[in-house]
Structure 1
Amino acid sequence: MHQLSKQVILDCKNVGKTFQRDRNSAFEALMHIDLEVTQGDFVTILGQSGGGKSTLLKLLGGFILPTSGQVLFHGVPLEGITPRIGMVFQENTLYPWLTVEQNIGFSFKVRGKAKPQYALRVQEVMEHVGLFQARNLYPHQLSGGMKQRVSIARSLAIQPDVLLLDEPFSALDIQLRRRLQKFLLGIWQETAATMVLVTHDVEEAILLGQKLIVVGGQPGQIVEAVDISSATFRDRYSRSFLTLQQHLEQVIGESSDFLEPLNSVTPITG
């Protein structure tokens, strides 16, 4: 059974990020971000394109550093990327000259591990995500959905403390997207992995998230935080789901005029 711990893995404390455009001007992308990601969480970050949600994900991954505030990883300031934080991007980043099995094992290889040391782990992951039969295929022989499954499997193979996903299904058609949403949710339920997913799709954010935050405004702030751990939010046709979807669409539409952030979690029961 999937159990959650209260251990905080990632912790944003009053985080802000400003990008320098040129010598005389700057763009404040995010401000006053307070967010905790605890072990076993599946957090979805929702917002309009250009609203700061991908910037927040990059801060959580150590790809960029905050201009103000701190991002803590296990209580220590995050000062750069680490193999303990996995990342799945919108476009798959598979190596075209490597097979499925070789792509999944690549992270071990670059860390100097000999194949006998990681071969069993790679096999276990391939079997778990339904890729074992495709282990000898190359990326050009795979569908878009299978490529993303390989990307997710490669990140999960090294058992990161947290897996970050930046709109991983946005380029896929709706039927394939829904199948991969179900796949990802199943992986989270079975492995108790900690995940943070960015999306601009309201339905996806509700279906997958256990905690959902909306980032909006200029600069980007957390304008709403919702507890959606109830099983009723896994049914896209339930009344609770549709009511929340309508509410979030309204929040996103109004977020460009939002002035004061709301960082408290609002429980919504099924």
Structure 2
Amino acid sequence: MDFEDPSGSGYVPWYRKPKDLQPYVLSKLLTSDKQHLQCTACFPWTADSLDILWGGHAAQDPQLVAQWKDVAKNWTGAIAVGAEGRLLVFPKLATAKPSIAVTIAASKEQANTRVDHVTWAINTNRPLEPLIVFTVSTVILIFDVSSQTLVGKLRGHGGPITSLSVHPTLPHLFATTSRDFTTRLYDLALYPVQAPNNPHWLPRTEPSLAGPAHGLHMCEPEGEGIGQCVAVMVGGRSGGHKGAVLCAVSPSVYKLWSTPY
């Protein structure tokens, strides 16, 4: 098969010429008991990241800076991987076996246990303990890699979650999108709400109890541990999105409720 450059410049990228050598060297092949791996996320920060995180305010604390350098040294290069029924964390040297494996058990309310999306985050209340946020169908789970424990479980989406992204400079904030027509913004420094705080639909005057299917807060407790949905970009009858939301990657998403840090 011939590959032609549609622009006429004569340049064809390597991935459109499969017979050419790839512009990288494969150093190691990671496997997970022959499971299908769904998603990956590398530890995104370095020893100097405090200069930009939270507007650089954390970098003004010399003790915190020194401790953060140790955190970065321990986790730089680590890879979080979502698989069928498991969250895996491969260490920084990328050995063939994961250093951490979290098993997600099936339940009556959660038959699907595939980890579809994963990212790294930091709770401002505990900045030296990196977190991994990952999703299983409609549920958000928060894992503390230092203590190797689940520290949060959040419900709220009325359909499968389609994407997950963390704020580039305020890593305690993250967004999820879903087939329930909504984008939801979360704050890891807060705790789950136990009662809905929804607007009213005219002509009624009391808060709506329509729930996630209409882009609103659920009528049951939001979850356990840490994390709270602080904003919902709604859809359906509530307005806004008229179909499934597939991705949220722009930092402008988080400007809806930006607060100086």
Structure 1-normalised TM-score?
A: 0.25
Whose Rg is larger? Answer: 2
> Which of the pair has the greater relative contact order for Cα pairs under 8 Å at 6+ separation?
1
Structure 2-normalised TM-score?
A: 0.25
Q: Which has the higher helix share?
A: 1
